[in-house]
Amino acid sequence: MIIFKKRGTWGRFACDTRGAVAVMAALAFPVLVGGMALGTEAGYWYLSQRKLQQASDLAAYAAAVQLRSGRGRPDMVAAASDMAVASNFRLGNDTMDLNHPPTSGSRTADAKAVEVVLNRQQVRFFTLIYDTDPVAISARAVAEIRGGGDACLLTLDPTTSGAITVSGSSEIIFQGCDVATNSNAQDAFLMSGGKVELTAGCVHSVGGVSATSGLTQTSCTGANTESPVIRDPYADLAEPLNVGTCVPGSVGSNNATTTVTPTETHPLGMPLRRYCAGLNISGNVTFGAGLYIVDGGTLQINASTDVSGNGVTFFLTNGATLAINGGATLNLSAPESGPLAGLLFYAARGSVGVKHSINGTAGSTLNGAVYFPTSDLDYSGNFSGTYGCTQIVTRRVTFTGNSSLNVDCSAAGTRRIPVAETIALVE
């Protein structure tokens, strides 16, 4: 049998099988390149998500710092946005949601927690051959305020020197609580005088501390300077409306016993009595539970006067001042519940430049807050406020002379003044 071999070009092509691999490679190459592109871009997506997570962590922390200082949502949002932008967050293309308290997770009812969620629509590159829709990337973080102690004295002015001043031969004892000032002055906390003494758990100052050897701190080895700003615990509290019928501004007389009973009702639902042009108190006077508005003038508690009352709040407005003279004895307690819970003396926020004073010897029991957010308080002479809870929140306070203030702030009704709080990322 004779076999004829094809020698021409067409014969060689028909018999040659070596190109099969090339054909297979050509068919598989797009899939291989697509897989490499998907892997590369998926890695980029992961890196983008990690950077977004870092930005959300820092943003939540910055928002919690504002919350710890008592600032509201606008400040929290601004701080979070600034920190996120500094961490490669593209404001406008990316979106941010800030929730206080968080709306998801395990801290949905925690008023000390802030949640930040960052969202990004990541544009595709290589993977456009598969899908043209952007890839949704998000990151979430929750920062929480934790720990800290309690202060029973806080001054709010941000810049004044001697925001807390203790001088002369004062002896001030704060039992079981700290003292703090929001002033950033180098001598925000100031002690002067060879015999001056102050005892507290710790001293906290946004600025500096200038103290003598008479400073005793029972819970700290040294004063805490450059501390965070402490929020005003009553900043959100609305002032009571100045309403009611004006009544004579003199109550009691020497060697007489008088009981004062409010006869009107304030819109807050509290019994009301309003004194215009001041209130002068003498003798032995008992105030019934309720709100007492002093509209202008001076709330004057005279020497040898004995004043008592449970569930009472004195609201000083239109420049009214408080003046407690030597020898007066006070036994007063603020409401333990209701719209003005914990407030014993409350000066309107418009009382800028007003100075209140406690002068002389007054062996007293005060349960409640002395809240003068924009005015000053001066303890002079020989005041002795023993027992009870006298929480002081004022623009500035000065202790002079032979003053002695014993404070055990554990009574119900007052709000906490948290100090030395920390911030932690918890989710």
7 in any annotated domain: no
**CA proximity to 406, closest of 375, 384, 381:** 384
Q: Which domain holds residue 67?
A: 32-146
22 in any annotated domain: no
**Please, what is the end-to-end C-alpha distance for the chain in angstroms?**
87
* Residues 110, 192 within the same domain: no
201 in any annotated domain: yes
Residue 425 buriedness (CB in 10 A; 0-12 / 13-18 / 19+): middle
Helices within 156-306 (DSSP H only): none
Number of domains in the chain: 2
Which H, E and C letters describe 100-139, residue by residue? CCCCCHHHCCCCCEEEEEEEEEECCCHHHHCCCCCEEEEE
Q: What are phi and psi of 344, to 5 degrees?
A: -95, -55
| Structural domain ending residue among the three candidates 146, 172, 191 | 146
**How many angstroms separate the Cα of 54 from the Cα of each of 118, 122, 377?**
10, 17, 46
* Residues 274, 324 within the same domain: yes
Average pLDDT, the chain: 84
Tokens read off for 179? 């003292």
Amino acid at 66: Q
* Residues 169, 266 within the same domain: yes
* Residues 335, 405 within the same domain: yes
* Residues 74, 222 within the same domain: no
13 in any annotated domain: no
Is pLDDT of 68 > 80?
Answer: yes
* Residues 158, 52 within the same domain: no
Residue 373 buriedness (CB in 10 A; 0-12 / 13-18 / 19+): buried
| Structural domain ending residue among the three candidates 99, 118, 146 | 146
Q: What is the pLDDT of residue 406?
A: 56
Q: What is the pLDDT of residue 93?
A: 73
The sign of the dihedral angle between the CA atoms of 290, 291, 294, 295 is: negative
Is pLDDT of 149 > 90?
Answer: no
Helix, coil or strand: residue 34: helix
* Residues 136, 188 within the same domain: no
> Lowest mean pLDDT: which of 3-7, 110-114, 360-364?
3-7
**Contact of 397 with 140, CB cutoff 8 Å:** no
318 in any annotated domain: yes
* Residues 131, 200 within the same domain: no
Q: What is the dihedral of CA 128, 130, 132, 136, to 10 degrees?
A: -100
Helix, coil or strand: residue 56: helix
- pLDDT 10s digits, 208-248: 999 998 899 998 888 999 998 998 999 999 999 999 999 98
Q: What is the pLDDT of residue 296?
A: 95
310 vs 405, residue with greater confidence:
310
**CA proximity to 285, closest of 330, 347, 324:** 330
* Residues 195, 302 within the same domain: yes
- pLDDT 10s digits, 151-200: 889 999 999 999 999 987 778 888 778 999 999 999 999 998 778 888 88
* Vertex 324 angle, CA 322 and 329, to 5°: 135
In this prediction, residues 67-74 reach a mean pLDDT of 84
What is the pLDDT confidence band of residue 122, given thresholds at 50, 70 and 90? confident
320 in any annotated domain: yes
| Structural domain ending residue among the three candidates 146, 170, 192 | 146
What is the pLDDT confidence band of residue 4, given thresholds at 50, 70 and 90? very low
2 in any annotated domain: no
* Residues 310, 169 within the same domain: yes
* Residues 100, 244 within the same domain: no
73 in any annotated domain: yes
**How many angstroms separate the Cα of 405 from the Cα of each of 188, 296, 362, 386?**
20, 28, 10, 7
* Residues 127, 196 within the same domain: no
Q: What is the C-alpha separation between 55 and 47, in angstroms, rounded?
A: 12
- What is the pTM (predicted TM-score) of this model? 0.77
**Contact of 149 with 220, CB cutoff 8 Å:** no
172 vs 46, residue with greater confidence:
172
Strands 389-399 and 298-301: unpaired
Instruction: Give the chain's largest Cα–Cα span.
Output: 152
**Contact of 223 with 203, CB cutoff 8 Å:** yes
Which H or E element spans position 143?
A: strand 135-146
